[in-house]
Structure 1
């Protein structure tokens, strides 16, 4: 596996054919290829214990979002630059192999204007959805989504609305308010028409969430309050039946909000366990352990992490990179089948955003300032530590954590084992890995991340 555009050094250890490793230590040394061993005489002060017989969730993949803002920025790049960017995002050999997209259905905070797929003049409605159209997405979002799927056929799309069309809401606009009960049936058909329109363009919608962050009512950008009781009724009595009548079967993930309100997904699963295919989580409140607690309480119900953004609220580089690695490992150690960050690309003002949004502090995987200028941010490299090594269909296995060294270990379908390690302590550590014929020691500096792909020969596909 190689990743274009990265500063690399060739591995020289005798086990170079057995092991590949990448290390990030600071802003100038990101995802660099490293020698297999620190030194043959080095004694490890931390030994990673791995148990391939203790197997947990399978991994669906890693990704980010083609918001309207992200898609417009990438599509504005010169053709050759855009091609290289897309390869570095989605290609498994020449890039970091992203395999998940979670795209907004209509406008979100990172859109150039407020829009839905069925906008009407103030005071008017469209009960039959006669005016439904995905024309907006045909310019930027759909071409890039299709391009990603051509580069990496494993790419799957999750779609999430920030708001129903304004005429369906008690506020009369996409900003603030709730869905009116009399429009539940029409809104279910809105989802159906969206999926069918995307299919006609050659894009399969793998999964839906009913509402992005249903407990938050933003004052300046599209959003919609949806209680657990309302989401349950909408899915069971309207959305599921509408999809089935149309012969559609996307997965439906409930909740799609922060860890600090587990009572919401618990309500969904207590009253309609079979109506949902998973629970979606964000990281802006609470702890990742809530994922495991909810999943285990409901017969290992699938968990999906669908949004987390880096931003100026955590100083770059080391604190922000450390937060991403620390949190990413804990998300996946707590039952999640996915790790999806937020905007794929933003500009040098962290935008564009909808009018009236105010100052944006979020950070994308890329920063694009003009048609040829692309900066790959710490979020790109942090996500790469996971996505470039852990393949779709990998299975997380048991691994130890001690002396501040966090670990995530997965067995890949091709027989390799992926190790993602992060030294969360204040001292450098010599990490020893003993796994069948794999016998290596790495020096892992404080606040540094190490990813390893190894042929351990301790398991085989199907075991």
Structure 2
């Protein structure tokens, strides 16, 4: 490869290749996704309103898991973080008595119609969740309209789900969720639709965001990574951005080890670290403004998970031996979370010559520039970065490597 050219940027080289910064100070995670009640990585099935017929949610109560685990951990994480954390809430299922199948799992949606009592109760459930967490000084930047609504349309789906079509989601946001949030103490909480695989785009966005009544309550579109190889990012993400540039795209779930052919934990897997880096770079280059890993830490089996949906995680904790392992994917994530500060803006990058390198560049709020480069090939690749202020900056991307370069204005 002859060169990588950050377009029209008068920067000079400051930092050197490879990850820099003290990882003992953390890797800069700033978004925490919090399940509303149980999900598959819980140890049991539960919601916060399991009393049938309680449409006014008089018996809405946080679970012991929230009081004893989630809330203390979030408070501790916030105390350790040098900047405020952005909390993101997602619900997996409504209470069984509000659903057509009378169960938290499997194929089922809300009873009745948008605007009806079941849909309004489900919207108020979101408000009550925000109110209860606020009592512990935990406020949420955003919430999604529900985890993977397509799963709730599948017969015999094995764990918690709530089915929505895009039309039903549009009308629920317009008639119930949007007005409920607007009338609450949290009218500025962001609402993200979809929270599912990008293969559903741009159709889902067209249905929901083309409606002015729903669109006024919505801030962004949440996507998961699981079927990213099925549909090109330009078709799903790029088209959605071009049609609705006023709504941001945000990655809300990703994990390695979910594929049945390669399931569960794989200690020391660099291939999975590359999978993370490839997907993040691809998303960033197609207008996604954030990317969220699913589990902060799992046990050596890839759980706990009540339905045995075991996957991998950047941190693996072996409680029986009182040790934990930082996976290669942990350090892969650090190239992005450590160096792409909140408020960074992506800039165009042009390359001369053919290359197997993948890359994305950003201007940070302090005016410095970050260039992240992934080499998934089996060969070292020599390249040069051209900066008008200093000329060509020679560098090498070793085989199967991830590099971070940064420039700072002199």
Q: If the length of structure 1 is used for normalisation, what is the TM-score? A: 0.76
Q: Per-residue deviation at 1:288?
A: 2.8
Shift of 1:311: 1.1
- 8 A contact 1:161–1:211 mirrored in 2: yes
Asked if 1:455 is matched to 2:393, the reply is no
Deviation at 1:301, TM superposition (A): 2.6
191-200 vs 423-432, which moves further: 423-432
Deviations, residues 436-463 of structure 1 (Å, cap 9, x unaligned) = 4455322111221101232145xxxxxx
Q: 3-state DSSP class of the match of 2:159?
A: coil
Answer yes or no: is the 8 Å Cα contact 2:361–2:370 preserved in 1. Answer: yes
Q: Which residue of 1 aligns with 2:305?
A: 353
d(CA) in 1 for partners of 2:350, 2:70: 41
SS in 1 for 2:78: helix
5 Å matches for 1:28-427?
Answer: 45-51=1-7, 94-120=25-51, 124-136=52-64, 137-152=66-81, 153-176=83-106, 177-181=108-112, 182-217=117-152, 219-249=157-187, 250-262=189-201, 263-272=203-212, 273-285=215-227, 286-289=231-234, 290-311=236-257, 313=259, 317-354=269-306, 357-358=307-308, 360=310, 362-370=311-319, 372-401=322-351, 402-427=354-379
Let me know the Cα RMSD of the aligned residues: 2.0
Q: Is the 8 A contact 2:270 2:329 kept in 1?
A: no
Partner of 1:59: none
Is the partner of 1:257 in helix, strand or coil?
Answer: strand
Q: Deviation of residue 367 (structure 1)?
A: 0.5
The CA deviation string for residues 124-154 of structure 1, in whole angstroms up to 9 with x for no partner, is 3211111111243111111111222222223
Aligned length: 370
Measure the CA separation in 2 of the matches of 1:221 and 1:348: 21
Structure 2 unpaired stretches of 5+: 10-21
In the alignment, structure 1 segments of 5+ residues that lack a partner are: 1-44, 54-90, 458-463
Would you say the 8 A contact 1:389–1:452 is kept in 2? no
Preserved CA contact (<8 Å) 1:50 1:397: yes
The normalised TM-score by structure 2 is: 0.85
Quick one: distance in 1 between partners of 2:216 and 2:2? Answer: 44
Question: Aligned partners of 2:237 and 2:39: how far apart in 1?
Answer: 25
Offset at 1:219?
2.3
Matched residues in 1 for 2:240 and 2:317: separation? 39
**1:115 shift after superposition:** 1.1
User: Residue 17 of structure 2 aligns with which residue?
Assistant: none
Q: CA deviation at 1:379?
A: 2.1
Within 1, Cα distance between the matches of 2:2 and 2:409? 19
Q: Give the Cα–Cα distance (whole angstroms) in 2 for the partners of residues 312 and 170 of structure 1.
A: 29
For 1:266 and 1:248, how far apart are their aligned partners in 2? 27
Contact 2:277 2:332 in 1 (8 A): yes
| CA distances 1:36-95 after superposition (whole Å, capped 9, x unpaired) | xxxxxxxxx431110257xxxxxxxxxxxxxxxxxxxxxxxxxxxxxxxxxxxxx98711
